[in-house]
């Protein structure tokens, strides 16, 4: 809700016409007035009221049982207190119905780059790709929760990256070198891990951590100026009580980090 206006996109068509992302997070205690996004330029309205747009990416399918979501939610709750004008766009990679990066998607990618005609299936995929990229393009901040899966990250998160991260959308390439297209000042990433990865353990991070380095690199590659991180370990394998304790400690650290985000 922005100054009493609750923007609720009710179809993919309206989402595309409105910059590609549905803002659901209400800000402030205002009288609710629902207006169709078809008749409003959301970007102009948000600029006029100085809205901070935050893209919150959830990559765990576990919902309320997820350690990464629990910690990012604590961060967001504290950030709303520090920045009441924030608008949160939550992108859950498991609920978003991401298209497969298959023959149609790859065909659409190359046709899109070359501005060639597409068939119906390719057009549908290309529209979704542009919609996903727009949510990154219009975000002033990015928050990302990443559970460790097989010492790396969930495949659905990589699917989002492969779809949204397109040339001339999130990065440039001139045949010689790459360049970023985003101008996002900061991102905050929570890396949740069931085990522990101290260098003197049987699972030292230098050998077993294939989670953090890539995600940090990718965010900087597309143009995030500063990537702030919080690693929360021991959420599973030490037992429930110890795991809950480690998650709670992570939540407290996240709340403190939200103050100057």
Q: What is the model's pLDDT at position 41?
A: 56
CB 88 within 8 A of CB 54: yes
pLDDT in single tens digits along all 261 residues of the chain: 443 334 333 333 333 334 443 444 433 333 333 333 443 455 555 555 678 999 999 999 999 999 999 999 999 999 999 999 999 999 999 999 999 988 888 989 899 888 899 999 899 999 999 999 999 999 999 999 999 999 999 999 999 999 999 999 999 999 999 999 999 999 999 999 999 999 999 999 999 999 999 999 999 999 999 999 999 999 998 899 999 999 999 999 999 999 999
For residues 95 and 149, membership in a common domain is answered with: yes
For residues 41 and 61, membership in a common domain is answered with: no
Contacts of 203 (CB under 8 A, 6+ apart): 195, 196, 197
If one counts the domains in the chain, the total is 2
Whole-angstrom distance, CA of residue 88 vs CA of residue 135: 11
For residues 127 and 8, membership in a common domain is answered with: no
For residues 204 and 236, membership in a common domain is answered with: yes
Q: Among 134, 138, 230, 144, which residue's Cα sits nearest to residue 184?
A: 138
Whole-angstrom distance, CA of residue 184 vs CA of residue 226: 8
For residues 39 and 59, membership in a common domain is answered with: no
CB 166 within 8 A of CB 235: no
Q: What is the CATH number of the domain that holds 60?
A: 3.40.50.360
Q: What is the model's pLDDT at position 104?
A: 84
Domain boundary among 11, 27, 47: 47
Q: Among 99, 85, 92, 181, which residue's Cα sits nearest to residue 143?
A: 92
Whole-angstrom distance, CA of residue 179 vs CA of residue 181: 7
Predicted TM-score (pTM) of this structure = 0.80
Q: What is the model's pLDDT at position 112?
A: 86
Whole-angstrom distance, CA of residue 95 vs CA of residue 248: 26
CB atoms within 10 A of CB 225: 13
Q: What is the model's pLDDT at position 17?
A: 36
For residues 64 and 29, membership in a common domain is answered with: no
For residues 16 and 87, membership in a common domain is answered with: no
For residues 57 and 92, membership in a common domain is answered with: yes
Range of the domain at 29: 1-47
């Amino acid at each position: 809700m922005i100054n009493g206006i609750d923007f609720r996109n009710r179809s993919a068509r309206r989402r595309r016409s409105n910059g590609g992302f549905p803002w659901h997070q209400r800000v402030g205690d205002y009288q609710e007035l629902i207006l169709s996004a078809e008749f409003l330029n959301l970007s102009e309205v948000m600029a006029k009221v100085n809205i901070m747009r935050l893209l919150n990416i959830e990559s765990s399918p576990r919902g309320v049982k997820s350690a990464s979501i629990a910690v990012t939610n604590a961060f967001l709750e504290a950030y709303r207190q520090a920045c009441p004008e924030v608008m949160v766009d939550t992108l859950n990679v498991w609920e978003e119905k991401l298209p497969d990066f298959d023959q149609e998607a790859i065909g659409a990618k190359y046709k899109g780059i070359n501005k060639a005609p597409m068939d119906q299936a390719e057009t549908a995929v290309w529209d979704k790709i542009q919609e996903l990229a727009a949510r990154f393009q219009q975000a002033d901040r990015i928050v990302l929760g990443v559970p460790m899966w097989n010492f790396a990250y969930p495949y659905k998160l990589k699917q989002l990256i492969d779809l949204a991260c397109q040339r001339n959308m999130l990065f440039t390439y001139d045949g010689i070198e790459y360049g970023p297209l985003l101008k996002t000042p900061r991102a905050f990433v929570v890396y949740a891990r069931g085990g522990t990865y101290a260098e003197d353990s049987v699972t030292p991070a230098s050998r077993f951590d294939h989670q953090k380095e890539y995600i940090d690199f990718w965010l900087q590659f597309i143009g995030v100026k500063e990537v702030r991180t919080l690693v929360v370990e021991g959420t599973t394998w030490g037992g429930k009580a110890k795991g809950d304790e480690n998650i709670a400690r992570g939540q407290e650290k996240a709340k403190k980090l939200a103050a100057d985000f």
